[in-house]
Amino acid sequence: MTEFAARVEGVSISGIREVFEAAGEDAINLGLGQPDFPTPAHAREAATEAINEGLADGYTGNKGIESLREAIAEKYARDQGVAVDPNDVIATAGGSEALHLAIEAHVDPGEEVIFPDPGFVSYDALTRLADGVPKPVELREDLTLDPATVEAAITDDTAAFVVNSPSNPTGAVASEDDIREFARIADEHDVVCISDEVYERIVFDGEHHSPMEYAETDSVVTVGACSKTYSMTGWRLGWVQASNRRIERMLRVHQYMQACASAPAQFAAEAALTGPQDRVDEMAAAFEERRDVLLDGLEDAGLDVPTPKGAFYAMPKVPEGWVDEVIDSGVVVVPGDAFGVRGEGYARISYATGMEELKEAIEIMQDATRRVD
Ligand code: PLP
């Protein structure tokens, strides 16, 4: 008998945390994956009201309150033009739990999950925790995921592939043609496409598209969250949407793991989704302005950086020693290899921080680049 499960021993604590711990207290933090805006007041108030009226004291249904699931279904009808049955949605503890349910319900031991490298840290870890086999695939030069690469990586043992647009850590947004291809690949190969769309509303160039718009079978599982769109990372509220038979399997995991998502957070999420959306647009506009300033600053420093089209991250190619030099100079950025082996030689810079701080950080990064070049 071993003391700890091999599954757990195979997963380590995210490298991102180490960077925070290495930086001084006064450092400017460009490492964070959360917006620096408050949660909209109407969402906070809806939670407070639900609490004060005693509506949030008990468990909700396992899938979540019906009015929230209706709001999520309406969102897909409005934004993606897809009719979704509210019964085919589970409210989850953030996008994180939704990803967990999707992988846990579809991946048998030894089966492969294909995902972008560099990519969000959870895909590799959740695959390992399901005793699956992580299969990271390389991105194009512009840091987008090529459907042809995904298709070529599929074997008889592949259970699923993950698409993440807009992307963490690259800020890349998949083209509509690529999204259409991902849906075709999932349909034709009978492999599940897990579409992680937690940054769906933060798109600067082009439009957000979802494989759910194009799939002809029930091959797509869609993950969403209030975390980034409504600046609600602390509320822990996301969701997963799929066909009824897939939702039924994911519910078995959710029921025993979570019972239901936090009730106050469900009321807040419903208000966020159905209330005024101007704060979302304002936030996206602020991110776009910062993106432009950051891009100019990095390009002036001679760094090569694919233009991020969404989310709030940029991923420049950086010279050896750059990340350490920048961190030692008081700016926290995350080394690209925290997001997979192919992230080596890159850094992830989050611009979910105020403009003044961002400008100060850009000067520090420019000086650091001169020193290591
Ligand atoms: N997916 C991606 C791509 C993310 O970047 C994150 C969080 O950083 C998540 C999912 C998880 O989001 P949540 O905070 O809703 O669990």
H-helix or E-strand containing 195?
Answer: strand 192-196
Distance CA 125, CA 348 (A): 19
DSSP state of 285: H
Q: What pLDDT, on the 0 to 100 scale, is given for residue 106?
A: 98
**What are the mean pLDDT values of the chain's consecutive 10-residue runs (373 residues total)?**
91 76 82 93 98 98 98 97 98 98 98 98 97 98 97 98 98 98 98 98 94 98 98 98 98 98 98 96 97 97 95 96 94 94 93 96 96 86
Q: What pLDDT, on the 0 to 100 scale, is given for residue 93?
A: 98
| Contact indicator for 314, 82 with CB cutoff of 8 Å | no
| Contact indicator for 47, 56 with CB cutoff of 8 Å | yes
In the structure encoding, which two tokens stand for residue 131, read together?
């005793």
Residue for token pair 């349910």: 101
**Looking at the DSSP assignment, which residues form a beta bridge with residue 28?**
331
> pTM, whole model, 2 decimals?
0.97
C-beta 233 within 6 A of ligand 1: yes
| Contact indicator for 277, 266 with CB cutoff of 8 Å | no
In the structure encoding, which two tokens stand for residue 21, read together?
């711990």
CATH number of 6-39+278-372: 3.90.1150.10
The answer to whether the complex's ipTM is over 0.95 is yes
C-beta 33 within 6 A of ligand 1: yes
Q: What pLDDT, on the 0 to 100 scale, is given for residue 30?
A: 95
CA-wise closest residue to 241 among 251, 233, 255, 232: 251
Q: How far away, in angstroms, is 168 Cα from ligand 1 center? A: 8
Residue of 198, 223, 334 to test ligand 1 pocket, by largest number of atoms within 8 Å of CB: 198
In the structure encoding, which two tokens stand for residue 80, read together?
């993606």
> Which atom of ligand 1 is nearest to 225's Cα?
15
Q: What pLDDT, on the 0 to 100 scale, is given for residue 257?
A: 96
Q: How far away, in angstroms, is 3 Cα from ligand 1 center? A: 31
CA triple 26-30-36, angle to 5 deg:
95
**Domain locations along the chain:** 6-39+278-372, 41-274
Residue of 203, 227, 312, 348 to test ligand 1 pocket, by largest number of atoms within 8 Å of CB: 227
Distance CA 265, CA 238 (A): 10
Q: What pLDDT, on the 0 to 100 scale, is given for residue 1?
A: 83
C-beta 225 within 6 A of ligand 1: yes
Q: How far away, in angstroms, is 373 Cα from ligand 1 center? A: 34
Helix then strand count (H, E) for the chain reads: 13, 12
The answer for residues whose C-beta is within 8 angstroms of residue 215's C-beta and 6 or more apart is 183, 186, 187, 193
Q: What pLDDT, on the 0 to 100 scale, is given for residue 205?
A: 83
> Which atom of ligand 1 is nearest to 93's Cα?
16
Q: How far away, in angstroms, is 2 Cα from ligand 1 center? A: 32
Residue of 115, 122, 221, 229 to test ligand 1 pocket, by largest number of atoms within 8 Å of CB: 122
Distance CA 315, CA 332 (A): 14
Q: Where are the alpha helices (DSSP H) in the chain?
A: 6-9, 15-22, 41-52, 66-80, 94-106, 122-129, 147-153, 176-189, 244-257, 263-274, 278-300, 322-328, 355-372
C-beta 198 within 6 A of ligand 1: yes
The residue nearest atom 5 of ligand 1, judged by CA position, is 168
CA-wise closest residue to 83 among 213, 239, 182: 213
| Rounded (10°) angle between helices 94-106 and 122-129 | 40
SS (H, E, C) 14-68: CHHHHHHHHCCCCCEECCCCCCCCCCCHHHHHHHHHHHHCCCCCCCCCCCCCHHH
Distance CA 130, CA 7 (A): 8
Q: What pLDDT, on the 0 to 100 scale, is given for residue 25?
A: 77
| Contact indicator for 302, 319 with CB cutoff of 8 Å | no
CA-wise closest residue to 169 among 21, 72, 30: 30
Q: How far away, in angstroms, is 257 Cα from ligand 1 center? A: 19
The answer for residues whose C-beta is within 8 angstroms of residue 80's C-beta and 6 or more apart is 209, 210, 212, 213
Q: Which CATH architecture has domain 41-274?
A: 3-Layer(aba) Sandwich (3.40)
C-beta 119 within 6 A of ligand 1: no
Q: What pLDDT, on the 0 to 100 scale, is given for residue 206?
A: 86
Distances (CA, A) of 79 to 8, 209, 244, 287: 38, 9, 21, 21
